[in-house]
Amino acid sequence: MTERSLQVTYRKGRAFAAYLHLSHATGEKSAKTVASQDGLLIVDYSATGRPVGVEITAPQAVPLERLNQLLADLGETPLAEQDYRPLRAA
């Protein structure tokens, strides 16, 4: 089982992009992606339709509340403020 984790990519000391890996079976891969209308959040789904991750294309433009609303819509638990801090660090 792969546990939920946040991966952040930095450029010039600032968060450039991020990926929230959602808990899923080990080896489960993305088979379909669905982007929000503005393209700031992209959800990856497995072949069975289960969400496996969320790409955050512009972390500075996505407040935690918006990400947590998406997670709620996906049936996932919200992300804690302390877990979102790396996106706000630089």
Cα distances (angstroms) measured from residue 29 to each of 3, 53, 86? 14, 10, 25
pLDDT in tens, 41-59: 999 999 999 999 999 999 9
DSSP code for 26: T
Task: Tell whether the model's pLDDT for residue 90 goes beyond 80.
Answer: no
**pTM recorded for the entire structure:** 0.92
